[in-house]
Structure 1
């Protein structure tokens, strides 16, 4: 373990801003003649799931207040993103801008408060703003849509930024700062942002203009999510806390307000008092939500009129549509309560031409199987339709079928799409799916027959019946009581950077190497990694599971600050759970090349060890890029997978564990 413990993920280096030409760019005479706009709304970035291809420059996204500066005839006005005048509150910053001696200009940036490590602290910023202590606040400038009387909105972003940087070269105030940009490979930028503990990064497409709206030419990759929510209630405080315990959050849906979870952290004492007074004045007798909550969710809740909107930062959305690890940021006056909806990141990708089938025909054939409702959208984020999913499973068949061969399969089905009801089907009792083989009922006594997928037609038939994910047992049906592999599922705390997952994978491989066991890797298609160890058929389920557990416990003892063998979110805070529970009889793991029922439809993909360092996340491939990768592979990433290995007495000793029954 000593060697593995020293291995850390490498962060990609940031390159400095490219030097721009010293020659001043001549502006079009028509632009020079334009007068300074009285009002200018900021350009907004589009949230995306993955960095897009193309030529982009990236900037650190600080967690602060968006701030526009208007300069005319020496007078500086500072305006919030909804055009509220903050000049009087930020007079020190207005004076610093005035000292630049700029003529008619509009500048764009963000107001932040930086800690000792250079990270933005929004809670401290908000408190400083409330009490009027603005001396330490920094105005980070990143664009100049109008500069020194010249309209630059149609000028490429890199030239606007070069002009802004030049205008700031004589700045001596610590309250003004230029937002430096850096280049990074699209495969590395997201990992770098997470590893550096950044709030996120903003990418700007080279050559793009400045527009006063949300634009795909500006993108944001968030390490943590942030959006507005409607406040629909609050709970009573506990212990010594005053005011309230937590706020109940909601977003608007087709039928009204939809419950989105709670936020109970991020409040100062002044916020607890102020919000409590405001909400008490808005109390009502009944819930404003479209659907009732469970008795446990609604216990001790004071319902309020849904008029207040707040900004919340959180780790992720759960499958139930609730926020996880939420923290209150601020009240929001920008967005009316009736316009607050769940924000979805937009995947930027090129769809193959064959994905353009739309609803002209109600039935399309794929691999000889009729696909009804081919136009049904399976995933609203990527826009993938049912027929496209069926086509993926037809095309990926040569690679996925060997992993399904002779194994009982369980299906995760989402007949109306992944945003609607999903259910897990392990037996053939719920629905008779054409072409899917039913196995001997004696393999799983007391249940309907287990199922097997052994052909292209059965794969496509599963997709026709709404199947998205395919999960397999760790044993084949001809020798059901002796598994031929075990799986270690590395499941991280969502707040950890991807580099922590790379490190944990290396550590797991190091332990297996020392045991003399050859292991194989695949992305989970979710958050983590799967480490698969092929076995000879010599042990039963209980012993195989106990051995996987012994590895998990050994890793926990060696590195308790990073690894846990105990399931449950509270036990893996800041850690990675090495899940051995998938090795029990009847348990299953998502199979290689299966689609996952997650936004964007990522795919679980086998990788070679040599590819680990270049891996940027567990959802790196989708149904298009996974297929393209499989077709272009020069060598099998799982070469040697059919080698079978035995669990020996020496291995139990190395793990300081005892084989059950001995």
Structure 2
């Protein structure tokens, strides 16, 4: 799979708009009716991290073989994406296309094999190809660059697809289908894909032409990633398996091949045998990697010449630069090993606003608070502007203010947007925020006053000064030395699947249940979950923090392979860190309903315990959906939160821990 570097500069909204304008100008002319080209390279989608703004239609991302059909004077030829002729292998599909009685055409689509749920099954498709059984394969058609002798490449994608759908209206073959699109807003696309059980989708910009190669008019949103790797070695098989155990993979880096991890599943028996024979013939004494592998990674490896390429599907790139949960897909014979690099999904960035001289009109009012630079883009992924962020905090005030009142607050400020420098502000010394309350300086001796947000005006005023996140202490300022809650922040290794996060959350809740304590859940808006435990004001900071630490250590003893109580990336590899350190004096945790200064501006949202099973990730809600959820709640997800609980001597015993002495 080629890396989409050459098009990265075109991903700004300004250049995309310019492209669309030029395309529309060209489409003002009559469509060409020239000779059908002999070859046609398919249009490819650019990987992106977030749904782009604008008008798009989304289609299923099929996991199969890209297939283009060339029809000239009634003769149908079928080609894969590299222009290898597959007509003889797919005679039934060629015959079905012949029955459509189309004029000279180029059609674009994907050849798949569907499972019992209607989803594409790539391993089954590959196996069917191995045995030459094409009868159950389905050719999903989604575009028509040429149709009935007319060159449609400059026509808008929606018009090309409408013409294709009309051409297929009399299709009677089960082996041909039109790939239907579904509509979803920028904010709802992941939810829509989840509802359809899709692990990836392709978006196509309305009004865009058909352009061979990769460009940002087609985008690919994946739940799982997929790309080519260079095979640099293999391990011995385990148990009853023949051939080899796993392939060692690499990509080309600045100074040579860089290790990228292993893949040990997804092979057919014939592939195990074929690959093993090929690799045995290419064995070498030394590693072809730029940097040698250390420890267990390099133990027992058979190194091979780095000439063979394989395609792999995987969950993600972990922080250590290795892929996780990899599955072997195929051997693309025409891929060149020296061109295989790590493919990076590219965020689609909004155009930077043009500098202009400020005037009185460059302001807006939100609940009477003057918002300067109201159109400043706070987040390039969502396109949210400063005035919109302030409006969110005005609208969410009835739900967020109860979590802010009486508590010292810290702010994460992004005056120029979250892509620029961020400031974490605990005290009122940096600048004067409109309507904010400055607390008694004696609460935090030696510093400027702590701050409190106790009104709508203060909340909106903080947004005016660039505040995105609101963090609160676990004590109120009227009794600052007696915390009235403690927090367990479950922070996972990024390589872990979401199911591991849910498992750790359930385990923590079970321990609290055994102790007789009720915990309340909220998404962090980042990677993990927060569990809040309300307390009576009977203990001080040291005791409360020690109790939270005892729970974290108890969980570690119960599940040492999955949970850790020790901070630091090295201690968290493959585990969930149950962070108790947010319970120290002066520490803070992001408040419920606060926006997070992350791409897409997710929101930390309280949930009921019975909602946990349906939770998809820690960034499930953004500003729009969090507000809609809050307004539509039939009941309080934190019912019983006002009940204050005590830490008892028996709880210390159950955790096999000692209460600190004064």
In structure 2, the partner of 1:489 is 490
In structure 1, the partner of 2:367 is none
SS at 1:332 equivalent:
coil
Residues 192-246 of structure 1 show CA distances to partners (whole Å, capped at 9, x for unaligned) of: 3235432311111111111101121111111111111111111111121111111
Equivalent residues of 2:490, 2:529 under 8 A apart: yes
Equivalent residues of 1:231, 1:308 under 8 A apart: yes
SS at 2:251 equivalent:
strand
**Change in CA separation of 1:237 and 1:195 when aligned onto 2, cut-off 3 Å:** farther
Deviation at 1:487, TM superposition (A): 2.4
Q: Distance in 1 between matches of 2:481 and 2:233?
A: 52
Deviation at 1:185, TM superposition (A): 2.4
Q: Distance in 2 between matches of 1:127 and 1:608?
A: 47
In structure 2, the partner of 1:545 is 548
Q: Distance in 2 between matches of 1:567 and 1:210?
A: 54
**Change in CA separation of 1:620 and 1:214 when aligned onto 2, cut-off 3 Å:** farther
Q: Distance in 2 between matches of 1:648 and 1:125?
A: 60
Residues 552-600 of structure 1 show CA distances to partners (whole Å, capped at 9, x for unaligned) of: 89xxxxxxxxxx98464699xxxx998645369789887567978xxx7
In structure 2, the partner of 1:9 is none
Q: Distance in 2 between matches of 1:250 and 1:210?
A: 33
Residues 23-60 of structure 1 show CA distances to partners (whole Å, capped at 9, x for unaligned) of: xxxx9885343211111110111111111222211111
In structure 2, the partner of 1:193 is 193
In structure 1, the partner of 2:240 is 240
Q: Distance in 1 between matches of 2:558 and 2:153?
A: 55
SS at 2:284 equivalent:
coil
Residues 328-357 of structure 1 show CA distances to partners (whole Å, capped at 9, x for unaligned) of: 00112343211111111122231553899x
Is 1:523 the equivalent of 2:524?
yes
Equivalent residues of 1:158, 1:207 under 8 A apart: yes
Gaps of 5+ in 1: 1-26, 357-378, 383-391, 410-416, 419-433, 436-450, 456-468, 554-563
Q: Distance in 1 between matches of 2:448 and 2:227?
A: 43
Which of 636, 645, 648 pairs up with 1:647?
645
Count residues with an aligned counterpart. Answer: 525
Q: Distance in 1 between matches of 2:232 and 2:75?
A: 43
- Range that drifts further, 62-71 or 251-260: 251-260
Equivalent residues of 1:44, 1:215 under 8 A apart: yes
Q: Distance in 2 between matches of 1:452 and 1:256?
A: 53
**Change in CA separation of 1:286 and 1:551 when aligned onto 2, cut-off 3 Å:** closer
Deviation at 1:523, TM superposition (A): 3.0
**Change in CA separation of 1:82 and 1:523 when aligned onto 2, cut-off 3 Å:** same
Equivalent residues of 2:509, 2:519 under 8 A apart: no
Deviation at 1:102, TM superposition (A): 0.6
Gaps of 5+ in 2: 1-26, 357-378, 382-388, 394-399, 412-418, 421-428, 431-446, 452-468, 565-573
**Change in CA separation of 1:146 and 1:620 when aligned onto 2, cut-off 3 Å:** same
TM-score, with structure 1 as normaliser: 0.65
Matches of residues 446-457 of structure 1 in structure 2 within 5 Å?
none
Residues 38-83 of structure 1 show CA distances to partners (whole Å, capped at 9, x for unaligned) of: 1111011111111122221111111111011000011111101011
In structure 2, the partner of 1:337 is 337
In structure 2, the partner of 1:267 is 267
Q: Distance in 2 between matches of 1:50 and 1:121?
A: 25
**Change in CA separation of 1:493 and 1:250 when aligned onto 2, cut-off 3 Å:** closer
**Change in CA separation of 1:493 and 1:604 when aligned onto 2, cut-off 3 Å:** same
In structure 1, the partner of 2:257 is 257
Equivalent residues of 2:251, 2:258 under 8 A apart: yes
In structure 1, the partner of 2:69 is 69
**Change in CA separation of 1:317 and 1:249 when aligned onto 2, cut-off 3 Å:** same
Deviation at 1:170, TM superposition (A): 1.2
TM-score, with structure 2 as normaliser: 0.65
In structure 1, the partner of 2:567 is none
SS at 1:136 equivalent:
coil
SS at 1:353 equivalent:
coil
Q: Distance in 1 between matches of 2:185 and 2:558?
A: 35
Equivalent residues of 1:202, 1:219 under 8 A apart: yes
Equivalent residues of 1:108, 1:143 under 8 A apart: yes
Deviation at 1:639, TM superposition (A): 14
Equivalent residues of 1:257, 1:288 under 8 A apart: yes
Equivalent residues of 1:191, 1:616 under 8 A apart: no
